Amino acid sequence: LSSYTVDFANALYARAGELLIGNPCYATRKVYVQLVSAVFEKYGKHDQLLKILTDLFTKDNSVYEIDGSKQLYLQDLSKLVISHTDNNAEFLEISLTSNYYEVQLEAINFIESNRIESHNKSLTQIARSDNEWTYVRSKAIPLVDDYAIS
């Protein structure tokens, strides 16, 4: 990480179209997102790229596919956007209602570690839904104010 320079960061940002938007390979997209995440940690967020990443997440998350590399890419992308968006309430809501459990878990972990209390309705829906994966439900249940076994 210490070897990343400002020039590297700028080159990485400049290639977003090629390496992320125009690239059908989710494994490559995942690596790009991981690099951007490391650069954001060192130099701070890049607002224009963060907007592109947010829009791309919304687009890619809206089409469900059974594709492990897409699921892991969306997990990393959601983690990056959640942690660097100033007003992330709307994004957290989108993540909580995602069809991808990896994305839901990232949102739940962020809510838990940052003690955010404004998403109780979505967390309650996850905790009570028989359609959600049991592990995701188990992470949501402790965060629900009025969870009772019925």
Note if the pTM is more than 0.85. Answer: yes
State residue 131's pLDDT score. 92
Alpha-carbon gap, residue 38 to 130, rounded angstroms: 37
Predicted local confidence at residue 76, as pLDDT? 98
- Looking at residue 2, its pLDDT comes to 58
Q: How confident is the chain (150 residues) per 10-residue block, as mean pLDDT?
A: 77 92 95 95 91 96 96 98 88 95 96 84 90 94 73
For residue 150, the model assigns a pLDDT of: 58
Residues 6+ apart with CB under 8 A from 101: 132, 133, 135, 136
Dihedral through CA 128, CA 132, CA 134, CA 140, nearest 10?
-60
